[in-house]
Amino acid sequence: LIQSFLNGHNILLLAYGVTNAGKTYTISGSKKNPGIIRRSLEVIFDIQMSDQYKYSIEMSYYEIHKKNLNDLLLYPNDKRVPLKIECEDKTVNIRNLQRIRIDSVEAALDIIALGEANRKVGNTKLNNKSSRSHAVLVLRLTAKPRNVPKEENPAKRCSKLCIIDLAGSERASRTEAVGDRLKEASNINTSLFILGKCIEVYVQNNSNVIPWRESDLTRICQEYFVGNGKAAMIVNVSPTMRDSEETLNVLRFSANAKEI
């Protein structure tokens, strides 16, 4: 997938599973056991050093929390500006979202650490540091041939890598959520349900309209299912018996997604 990203394809990677199944660890990892993000960055910067193209890479990091999009790369005193999803010609852009130029793995990880510190987490009965939002990391790459004179106006190649750490699916009766936590859980479950519905209709490949526009999450995902896009899903399965019912739903969801 990373090679496809460098070759000009738009790539989507989703981590899906119940609360506390290891999604965030799979994506972010630790210093001792790097996750998908660090491993991907290392491959990208290793390849670009020896490739015939010169790369420019920009990073954005935001979350979908309830019905809001929040830029995760803002400091406490930075001005908050509302983010808005804009779709044009099957391409999605987030208005007012920061794009930060990165030139090394370590610089990127420092920026990501800021974003992870800003992400909404909360205490539930099932997880005392439960992610209460979908976290979306986007790398935008522009590639230009290294040894072609400027006067020849060489064609540049643009692509996006989008890694989404989905909030965990959960039943309110199990988490004993109330108030704001209950609203968060409701929004999380609704967006995951719509994602599943979009995938189901997409797999069926019939004349039904795919309901991408029914949630912010699916609006963001849509562009990776058209044109030169590629999508993959990592399914995190909880080994505990208490999660068996939700885990079965996760497996049904992933079996459907596998047909794409």
Strands 100-102 and 68-71: what pairing?
unpaired
Gap between the Cα atoms of 2 and 18, Å rounded: 26
Annotated ligand binding at 179? The verdict is no
pLDDT of residue 213: 93
Annotated ligand binding at 175? The verdict is no
Q: What angle do CA 70, 74, 78 make, to 5 degrees?
A: 110
Annotated ligand binding at 240? The verdict is no
Listed range (204-213, 216-225, 227-236) with the worst mean pLDDT = 204-213
**Confidence class for position 36, pLDDT limits 50, 70, 90:** very high
Quick: pLDDT tens for 100-135.
999 999 999 999 999 999 987 755 554 445 578 999
**Confidence class for position 180, pLDDT limits 50, 70, 90:** confident
Distances from the Cα of 42 to the Cα of 5, 110, 157, angstroms? 14, 14, 20
Domain topology for 2-257: Kinesin (3.40.850)
pTM: 0.89
Annotated ligand binding at 93? The verdict is no
Annotated ligand binding at 19? The verdict is yes
pLDDT of residue 176: 56
Rounded mean pLDDT, 59-68: 94
Distances from the Cα of 145 to the Cα of 2, 44, 244, angstroms? 19, 16, 52
Annotated ligand binding at 118? The verdict is no
